[in-house]
Amino acid sequence: AKSRSHNRYQFYIATIDTEIRQRKKLEMDLHEALEHHELSLVYQPQIDFKTSQMVGAEALLRWKHPEKGLISPEMFIPMAESNLDIIPIGDWVLESACHQLHEWRQNGFSDLRIAVNLSAIQLRDKNIVDRINYLLNKYQIPPQRLEIEVTETCIMEDIELSSEQLNKIKATGITLALDDFGTGYSSLSYLKQFPFDKLKIDKTFVEDLPANKENTVIVEAIIQLGRSFGIEVIAEGVETREQETHLINSGCTEGQGYFYSKPIPEKEFAEFLRAWKNK
Ligand code: C2E
Ligand code: CA
Ligand code: CA
Ligand code: CA
C-alpha cells in the first residue's frame, strides 16, 4: 500500500511539473506573439437603446497560437500581466484600436466611439497618459471618442495610485468606464471617489434576466445608482430581446451582447456597420 501511494504521489508531482512546463512554454510563446503577428482585435457593437444607433464598439484581444489555435484572453492576459508583457501588448491594443477608429472616421463613421480594456499594470504605468495623448494626436481622435474600461479589481490593488492615474487620464478628455460593475468589493465608494463616466453592468447579472429575481433587483439598483450619480449605464452580455426589453424598462441606456453581434474582426465589422446604418 505504501509503494502505491508513493507512486500516486510521484504521478501527481509529474503532472504538476508538466503543467508548469507547459505554462512556461505558453508564456514564452506569448512573449513572441506580437512579433509573430498572432494577436488581433475583434470588435463588439454597443447599441444606444433610445435611438437604436450603434454608438461604439469594444475592442477585444485575440491570440491565435500557431499550434493550439485560439486561446482565451481570460487565460493569457493574466499571464502577460505576470511578466509585464502586458505593457507592450496593451500598447499595441491601444494603438491598433486608435488606428481602426481613425479608419472608421475617414469612412464617414465619425460618431463612433471605441472602448479599450486597460489592465491594472497599464493603469499604474507612468507613461500611460503621455501614450494616450500621443495616440489621440497621431490618429486625430477627439478624446471623447476613446473610452477606457477598467475593472473594480484593477483599482482595488492600489487605490491611491489608481485614483491619481484615473484623474490624469480623465484630464485628457477621454471617457472612463467601470467594467464588471458589481462583481468586486466596495463598488459604491468607488463611484464617489473616481471620475467614471460610465458603469458596465457585468454579464453575470444580465444572464438570467428577468427570471432571476435577485439579479433583476441588482440590475435595477445599479441603473438607479448610475442615474443618481449622473453616470451612464451600459449592460454587457445582452443575448435576448427579453433581456433588452427589461433593461430598457429599467432605464438602462446602452447594451452590448450576442443579441446584436458577437465580437467580430474588422472586415465583418465594417459590413455590420453599413448594414446597421441602412436598417
Ligand atoms: P470583459 O472586458 O468583461 O469583456 C466581455 C466578455 O464578454 C468578452 O469576452 C466578450 O466576448 C464576452 N461577451 C460579449 N457579449 C456576450 C454575450 O452576449 N454573452 C456572453 N456569454 N459573453 C459575451 P472575451 O473577449 O473572451 O474577453 C474576456 C476578458 O478578457 C475581458 O472581459 C477582459 O477582461 C479581458 N480582455 C479582452 N481583451 C483585452 C485587452 O485588450 N486588454 C485587457 N487588459 N484585457 C482584455
Ligand atoms: Ca471590458
Ligand atoms: Ca465586463
Ligand atoms: Ca469580465
Question: Grid cell 496593451 — which residue?
Answer: 90
**Which residue, by CA, sits nearest to atom 42 of ligand 1?**
117
Q: Say yes or no to pLDDT of 78 above 80.
A: yes
pLDDT number for residue 17: 83
> How do residues 216-270 score in pLDDT, each as one tens digit?
999 999 999 999 989 999 999 999 999 999 999 999 999 999 999 999 999 999 9
DSSP string, 17-64: HHHHHHHHHHHHHHHHHTTTT-EEEEEEEEEETTT--EEEEEEEEEEE
Is 44 touching ligand 1 by the criterion CB < 6 Å? yes
Q: How far is the CA of 181 from the centre of ligand 4 (A)?
A: 9
Q: How far is the CA of 180 from the centre of ligand 3 (A)?
A: 4
Q: Say yes or no to pLDDT of 184 above 70.
A: yes
Q: Which ligand is nearest to the CA of 237?
A: 1
**Which residue, by CA, sits nearest to atom 43 of ligand 1?**
117
CA–CA separation, 158 vs 155, rounded Å? Answer: 6
Q: How far is the CA of 236 from the centre of ligand 3 (A)?
A: 7
pLDDT number for residue 147: 98
CA–CA separation, 183 vs 78, rounded Å? Answer: 18
Residue 143 preceded by cis peptide, ω within 30: no
User: Mean pLDDT throughout 102-126?
Assistant: 96
Grid coordinates in use for 218? 441588482
pLDDT number for residue 14: 80
Higher-pLDDT residue of 7 and 52 is 52
> How do residues 132-154 score in pLDDT, each as one tens digit?
999 999 999 999 999 999 998 88
**Which residue, by CA, sits nearest to atom 8 of ligand 1?**
60
> How do residues 197-208 score in pLDDT, each as one tens digit?
999 999 999 999
pLDDT number for residue 2: 55
| Residues that place a CB less than 5 A from ion ligand 4 | 180
The share of the chain scoring above pLDDT 90, in percent, equals: 81
- State the helix-helix crossing angle for 86-106 and 73-82, rounded to 10 degrees: 130
pLDDT category of residue 130 using cuts at 50, 70 and 90: very high
> How do residues 5-43 score in pLDDT, each as one tens digit?
777 777 777 888 888 899 999 999 999 999 999 999 999
Grid coordinates in use for 15? 503532472
